[in-house]
Amino acid sequence: MSTQKIGIIGSGSWATAIAKIVTDNGHSINWWVRKAEHINYFQKRHHNPQYLRNAYFDVTKIQFSEDVKKVVENSDIIVIAVPSIYVETSLKELDANILKGKKVVSAVKGVIPKFNILLNQYLADKFEFPLGDYYTLLGPSHAEEVAAEQLSYLTFSGIHIEQTNQVAAYFKNDYINTVVNDDILGVQYASIVKNIFALGAGIAHGLEYGDNFLSVYIANAANEMRQLLKAIMIQNEQVCDKVNYSASVYLGDLLVTCYSLHSRNRTFGNMIGKGYSVRAAELEMNMVAEGYNACKCIVAINENLNAPIPIIQSIYKILWEGAEPKAAFKEIELILI
């Protein structure tokens, strides 16, 4: 495998975990960090000043830059690891032809809210970027466990399995196992809706529902996710009969995001269930819970799909229409089987 230069766009917890994986594997990286003071801190202390502070780096393997254009120009593989709401602003300085001949790996777990589209669709519209050079990097995994080098599994998706395996090889090591598939559309939507369900799991916990209820809730969420993904695949004229929705990137990621204390969506939902307003929960966390915006986007997308998504619609009413969490979950109780 020929060595290719890897660039990382983003400096949050997941971007930091990805940078750790790649540099631990001996690869040098170009890393876009938005603030100069954070770069200076990183270079002096060898760790991110804001996220995963226990993860230390060999900074001789890192070329930091505040200039996203410079990072992209000097990289062959570009990992985009910013929250979906920041994709447009993060890439706005890039020229239309700058991605030509490069590979893009998406670690974005959300719909771009302004357009209700996935990252690959945004790149195709803005940069005429081909799907054949686009890959996804998804879980189930939490940045905190990756930073602690606890065994995690990453799923890479692309339309060409051989090339996808080549990209995945840059990330495989003693604490990261890699899996590949070609369901590039389905895995992205699965990563989006599992955040909504995890937010709902957090609300349930905040309302003091127990594990028995949560297990039934998650089982129904898994079925709802499967029906939505199948409707999306049919709309896009893709075959879904061979997709294993019990695989780790679908069911596994749903489970860990709903149950784990590391899950920011679960944490966000827990605050809502305990009576926090959305704004108060955002201020308290100081991190982006992708499920909040994703809920609105998925409800809008489903207007053309008409898939049965009663759990998502109930969570939407809580977050965006001011419904009382307790009353909304009383309704959810009645539809669970």
What does the DSSP 8-state code read for residue 40?
Answer: H
Distance CA 154, CA 180 (A): 8
Neighbour count for residue 180 (Cβ, 10 Å): 18
Domains in the chain, ordered, with CATH?
Answer: 6-182 (3.40.50.720), 185-335 (1.10.1040.10)
Distance CA 277, CA 288 (A): 15
pLDDT the model gives residue 165: 97
Query: Would you call 145 helix, strand, or coil by DSSP?
Result: helix
Using pLDDT thresholds of 50, 70 and 90, give the confidence band for residue 1.
low
In angstroms, how far is the first alpha carbon of the chain from the final one?
49
Question: pLDDT tens digits, residue range 251-299?
Answer: 999 999 999 988 999 999 999 999 999 989 988 887 778 899 999 999 9
What sign for the dihedral angle of Cα 260, 264, 265, 271?
A: positive
Length of the chain: 337
Distance CA 107, CA 175 (A): 18
The residues with which 156 forms a beta bridge, in sequence order, are: 137, 180
The token pair at 315 is 């969570």
What are the angstrom distances between the C-alpha of 95 and each of 89, 123, 125, 129? 13, 12, 13, 12
pLDDT the model gives residue 287: 72
pLDDT the model gives residue 65: 96
Whether 103 sits among the annotated catalytic residues: the reply is: no
pTM: 0.94
**Which of 67, 109, 106, 113 is CA-nearest to residue 90?**
67
Give me the torsion for CA of 153, 148, 262, 50, rounded to 10°.
Answer: -120
Taking a C-beta distance cutoff of 8 angstroms, is the pair 78, 52 a contact? no
Indicate if the pLDDT at residue 150 is higher than 90. yes
pLDDT the model gives residue 236: 82
What does the DSSP 8-state code read for residue 180?
Answer: E
**Three-state secondary structure readout of 176-213:** EEEEEECCHHHHHHHHHHHHHHHHHHHHHHHCCCCHHH
pLDDT the model gives residue 193: 97
What single letter denotes the amino acid at residue 11?
A: S
Distance CA 270, CA 209 (A): 11
pLDDT the model gives residue 289: 83
pLDDT the model gives residue 240: 64
The residues with which 80 forms a beta bridge, in sequence order, are: 9, 106
Active-site residue, from 20, 109, 194, 317: 194
Indicate if the pLDDT at residue 239 is higher than 70. no
Question: pLDDT tens digits, residue range 91-115?
Answer: 999 999 999 999 999 999 889 988 9
Determine what percent of the chain is predicted with pLDDT higher than 70: 99
